[in-house]
Chains A and B, each alone.
Chain A
């Protein structure tokens, strides 16, 4: 997973996450939107045939001087926890 920051200000961050697709990006975006300090989160991805930028670009806006990069880290933790708790719930039922 290669990360490349394309734009960065105090409370806004655009970052390219190479090698990912909707499967992970949409889950990550969903987790970021649940974060209290995140005011906006979205990602943009172009189809492979379109040429040019085809890796997803994630954009995060934060409130109250929260560091977007830290929010991203929190988001990743949330996704991991969700996936693990889903797995545990499934295994408990299985």
Chain B
């Protein structure tokens, strides 16, 4: 009884997308969402060896900041769980140390953004350190979350019921998400989230479309959206296979 899903993109960029999934139960939608947040492994700095730190912050504080810098994550199978990638940083003040100053030993693992400030160094201050990045899951530390701001909403269907009474003041009706209007998908941002802009003088009824969810997914730059979603589905399938094998024994 394998379910039939239907996926349709509403908005799509490298790091952010909105897509509609039909035929999905709320429980399964939430499983996918949770898997995207907590179960898709990404690279992040885990250990830092300081050679020199004459900045105003302690080693530990800088180590936390370095850990939170999003790193690009290599394709599946390229990296084992105990393998590390070394990144080094050497900045002398007066200057600001940015994530872009991190030099990686592996082309596959680079800072996803060049412009994350790490610390401002004054005259004569210097930061020199070596950091080891490891692969892990968001469940263990938030710095390994590949998906940020992952959520879903019901698709909403709008039906025009009739005209509003002629002399009545029009009230705004604010909704957010994506609406379905005669089979056409319209993001509410197109009419300023206000139905009275789209249907002036009309009386409208809104209802949730059963088992149709609009996912909003944003990644930290570790990998593109497509990768995050497919890897999330893979982690669920992997665990199901594992359970199958365990039960058969």
B-contacting residues, A59-74, CB 8 Å? 69, 72-73
* The residue from B1, B19, B27, B233 contacting A78, defined by CB atoms under 8 A apart: B1
Q: Which of B117-125, B188-196, B238-246 contacts A (4 or more CB under 8 A)?
A: B238-246
**CA–CA, A79 and B6, complex, Å:** 17
CB pair A73–B247 under 8 Å, yes or no, is: yes
- Chosen A-B contacts, 18 in total, with CB atoms closer than 8 Å, are A1-B242, A24-B239, A69-B247, A76-B240, A76-B247, A78-B1, A79-B240, A81-B2, A83-B234, A83-B240, A86-B5, A86-B24, A87-B234, A90-B19, A90-B226, A91-B230, A92-B7, A94-B7
Is chain A's binding surface mostly helix, strand, loop or mixed? helix
Q: B240, A23: Cβ atoms under 8 Å?
A: no
Is the Cβ of B19 less than 8 Å from the Cβ of A93? yes
A73 close to B248 (CB less than 8 A) = yes
How many B residues have CB within 8 A of the partner chain?
39
Is there an interface contact between B237 and A84, defined as CB atoms closer than 8 Å?
A: yes
- Are A86 and B244 in touch, CB under 8 angstroms? no
How far apart sit A30 and B235, CA to CA, in the bound complex (Å)? 17
Q: Which residues of A contact B241 (CB under 8 A)?
A: 76, 80
What is B's interface to A at a CB cutoff of 8 Å? 1-9, 19, 21, 24-25, 27-28, 30-32, 34-35, 38-39, 139, 226, 229-230, 233-234, 236-237, 239-244, 246-248
Check: A26 CB closer than 8 A to any chain B CB.
yes
- For residue B3, which residue of chain A has the nearest CB? A82
- Shortest CB-to-CB span from B172 to chain A, Å, is 33
In the complex, which range does the number of interface residues on chain A fall in? 35 or more
Residues of chain A having any CB pair with chain B under 8 Å: 1-3, 17, 20-24, 26-30, 34, 69, 72-73, 76-87, 89-94
Q: What distance in Å separates the Cβ of A64 from its nearest Cβ neighbour in chain B?
A: 18
Kindly provide the distance from the CB of A33 to the nearest chain B CB, expressed in whole angstroms.
Answer: 9
Given that A23-B38, A73-B247, A87-B230 are known contacts, is A29 also in contact with B27, CB under 8 Å in the complex?
yes
Nearest CB in chain B to that of A25: its residue: B31
Residue of A at shortest CB range from B244?
Answer: A76
Residues of chain A contacted by B1 (CB below 8 angstroms): 34, 78
| Of listed A27, A72, A81, residue having the most chain B CB within 10 A | A27
- Most central of A30, A79, A86, A93 by chain B CB within 10 Å: A86
List, in ascending order, chain A residues with CB within 8 A of B234's CB.
83, 87
